[in-house]
Amino acid sequence: MTTSNASLKRWVEDVARLTQPDSIHWCNGSDAENSALIEAMLKSGDLIKLNQDTHPNCYLHRSHPSDVARVEHLTYVCTRNKEDAGPNNHWMDPIEAHRKVDNLFAGAMKGRTMYVIPYCMGPIDSPFARCGVEISDSPYVVVNMRMMTRMGDAALKRIEREDKYVKGLHSIGDLNPDRRFIMHFPEELTIKSVGSGYGGNALLGKKCHALRIASFQAREEGWLAEHMLLMGLQSPEGKTHYVAAAFPSACGKTNLAMLVPPNSMPGWKIWTLGDDISWLHVDDEGQLRAINPESGYFGVVPGTNRKTNCNAYDMIQRDTIFTNVAVTEDNQPWWEGLETGKPALDWQGKPYTGNGPAAHPNSRFTVSAKQNPIYSTLADAPEGVPISAILFGGRRREVAPLVYEARNWAHGVLVGAGMASETTAAAVGQMGVVRRDSMAMKPFAGYNFADYFGHWLKLGSGKNASKLPKIFHVNWFRQDRNGKFMWPGFGENLRVLKWIADRCDGRAEAIETPIGLVPRKQDLDVSGLNMDASTLETLLSIDPAAWRQEIDAIGKYLDEYGSRVPSQLREELKGVAKRLEASNAA
C-alpha cells in the first residue's frame, strides 16, 4: 500500500532514507491489522495478556522506568522568532532543532518496521476536523492511535483530497533521556519526537497535534483548540446544554465529564462528548460549536473506582490497554484506589513488597470513547454541538467562590487567564502555593500566551460571533478553618451546573459583585445536603481584601508576558480593581 498524494509519498521516502527501517507498513486501521499488531507485541513482550476472564481483550504495557510521563523540559516550540513562542514555551531555533533531532533519527529505525499512520482529529466528514500523519517505529503507538483518533484508510482518503496534514515523526530511539526531544514546528505544521515511547510524547495526535500545533492553526484560521472537556447536561424536561470546561490537573476534570447525577436530582442525565480536548468554531449562524478531536481516552488510572468515577471504571473492564499498572496474583490489573484485590507485581514487574505505590502514579488506560456508558453519539456529529457555557476552574482553599459568572466575554477571558490552583503539601512540601495555569493551557499553547489571550478576545469581538456562550468560574475545593472541604463535590456538582444552565436560559437570578455574578443563597438547590446557612454563605462569599491581592497577583503574572499582553485584558483587570475599591468604600 502507498498513496496517491505526491507530497506525502515523498516525505515518507525521505524519512525512510533517514531512519533506515527494515520495512515500511502503511496502516489501514482494520481489525485484522490491529489483531496482528497485538499478537506480535505479545510475542515480543511489548504487551502482556491480562486475565481474559475478568478483563477480556485487555493488555498491559510496561514502559522503561525512565520513560513514564511527559517531559516538559525537553519539549520545544520552534518558531523563527523566539518571541512568537513566548515565555510559556521552551524555544529553539528551527534550523538548530531540525539538525539536532535529525541526527538522532539517523538510522534510528534499523531492525524495525516503520509505520505510516494516517489519522483524522475529529469526525472524518467534519469541516472542523484536521488530519495528520504520524510515522513511528512503535506498534504500541499504532494500536493506541487507532483508539485515540479516526485512523486508517478513511483518513488517508481525506488527506489525499485536501493535501493538508500535520507531519509527525516519532521514534522510540534508544530511550536514553539524554537523547530525548519533543520538537514542535508550528509554522511548518510538523512534530518530531525521539527517545520516548510514553503516550504523551509518542501519540503525536494528542497534546502535540491537538493542542500545540492545533492552537497555532486555530489562531491562523480563526477558531480555538482548547484543553477542555466537553459534556451534555440534560434536564428532566429534556433540554440539553453543552458545556466546555478547562481545569488544571487534580481538579476533577474527568470526573466532571463523566458525572453521575445524585439520587437527589432525579431525571437529570449527563452525556460525555470528551474528557480532555475541545476544538471550538463559530458557525455561519454566529454560534460557537465544539467537536472533540479525539475518539478515545488516555486517562490516569490511579484513584479510579466505582465511587470516584463509576463510568470510567466500567468502561475499562474490557478492550483496554493499561500502561504501568500493577497486577494481582491472577493477572488482573491493579492500581491504588481499587477497593478489592491485592498487587502481586508492581508496575515494573517486580514482586510487590508494600513499599511505595504498586502502580505508577501516572499509570494510564487507553480505551475507545464508545465504551463509556454515557457516551454521546453527537461526538461523531460533523457539525459539532452548540456551546451554552464555558467553565474555568481551579483548586483554591479560599478566595474563589463556589461559582461566579463573568460579566461578558472579555471579562471571561480575564477569568480564564488568571485561573490558578494551590499546591498541596504532598506535591511541593509547602501548602497553598498558587500556580497560574491560564485556561489549563500553560504546557500546551503552541505560541506566545499574550497572543493567545489576544486571539480569544479577537474571536469574541468578531462580528460573526453573535451567539457566544456565557463564561463561568467554579471552585469545588473551598475549605473551612479546619481544612475540611465545604462542598461535597462529585455528583453534587450537578447542583452548580443546574444554576449555570438556568443562567444560560435566563431563568436564574444572581447578585452582581466586583468579580462577577454570584448565585443568591436561594438560587442554589442544597436540599438534602445537610449544609447550614453559614457554610453556603461562605461558599458564595467575596472577600474584597483577598480579591485585591488576587488582582495584584494576576497583574504581575500578566507582566511576565510583556508588552504583547492585550491592552483590553489590562483594562478588564483595572475594571475589577476599581469595582473592588468602590465596594470597599461603600
Number of structural domains, the chain? 3
Distance CA 189, CA 437 (A): 25
Residue 406 belongs to a domain: yes
Residues 408 and 497 grouped into a single domain: yes
User: What is the CB neighbour count within 10 angstroms for residue 559?
Assistant: 11
Q: Which residue has the cell 462529585?
A: 490
Report the SS3 class of residue 208. Answer: helix
255 is in an annotated binding site: yes
> What pLDDT does 524 receive?
95
Partners of 135 in the beta sheet? 116, 169
Distance CA 482, CA 292 (A): 40
Residues 452 and 567 grouped into a single domain: yes
> What pLDDT does 432 receive?
66
276 is in an annotated binding site: yes
Residues 418 and 502 grouped into a single domain: yes
Give the end of a domain, one of 199, 222, 245: 222
Report the SS3 class of residue 137. Answer: coil
Residues 575 and 456 grouped into a single domain: yes
429 is in an annotated binding site: no
Active site residues: 251
Q: Are strands 166-171 and 130-136 parallel, antiparallel or unpaired?
A: parallel
Residue 424 belongs to a domain: yes
563 is in an annotated binding site: no
pTM (global) more than 0.85: yes
Partners of 351 in the beta sheet? 345
CA atoms within 13 A on the CB side of 575: 17
Residue 542 belongs to a domain: yes
Residues 188 and 316 grouped into a single domain: no
Residues 394 and 500 grouped into a single domain: yes
Question: Mind listing the pLDDT tens digit of every residue in the chain (586 residues)?
Answer: 789 999 999 999 999 999 999 999 999 999 999 999 999 999 999 999 999 999 999 999 999 999 998 888 999 999 999 999 999 999 999 999 999 999 999 999 999 999 999 999 999 999 999 999 999 999 999 999 999 999 999 999 999 999 999 999 999 999 999 999 999 999 999 999 999 999 889 999 999 999 999 999 999 999 999 999 999 999 999 999 999 999 998 788 999 999 999 999 999 999 999 999 999 999 999 999 999 999 999 999 999 999 889 999 999 999 999 999 999 999 999 999 998 999 999 999 999 999 999 999 999 999 999 999 999 999 999 999 999 999 999 999 999 999 999 999 999 999 999 999 987 543 334 556 899 999 999 999 999 999 999 999 999 998 788 899 999 999 999 999 999 999 999 999 999 999 999 999 999 999 999 999 999 999 999 999 999 999 999 999 999 999 999 999 999 999 999 999 999 999 999 999 999 999 876 6
- Return the CATH number at 97: 3.40.449.10
Residue 106 belongs to a domain: yes
Distance CA 445, CA 417 (A): 12
Q: Are 176 and 259 in contact (CB under 8 A)?
A: no
128 is in an annotated binding site: no
Residue numbers of the domain that contains 356: 296-371
> What pLDDT does 16 receive?
98
Residues 249 and 210 grouped into a single domain: no
Which residue from 5, 21, 206, 6 is spatially nearest to 115, judged by alpha carbons? 21
> What pLDDT does 424 receive?
54
Residues 424 and 331 grouped into a single domain: no
Give the end of a domain, one of 330, 349, 371: 371
Distance CA 568, CA 379 (A): 35
Distance CA 196, CA 174 (A): 8
First to last CA, the chain: 75
Residues 344 and 390 grouped into a single domain: no
Cα dihedral 240, 244, 250, 254 in deg (nearest 10): 50
Residue 532 belongs to a domain: yes
Residues 23 and 169 grouped into a single domain: yes
Give the end of a domain, one of 348, 371, 394: 371
- Return the CATH number at 236: 3.90.228.20
Residues 404 and 530 grouped into a single domain: yes
Residues 423 and 313 grouped into a single domain: no
198 is in an annotated binding site: yes
Residue 57 belongs to a domain: no
Distance CA 40, CA 42 (A): 5
80 is in an annotated binding site: no
Residue 61 belongs to a domain: no
Q: Which residue has the cell 493567545?
A: 452
Residue 234 belongs to a domain: yes
Beta strands in 122-239 (DSSP E): 130-136, 150-151, 166-171, 181-185, 190-194, 224-226, 229-234
Q: Are 569 and 414 in contact (CB under 8 A)?
A: yes
- Return the CATH number at 312: 2.170.8.10
> What pLDDT does 429 receive?
46
- Ramachandran sector of residue 319 (left: φ over 0; alpha: ψ -120 to 50; beta: rest): left
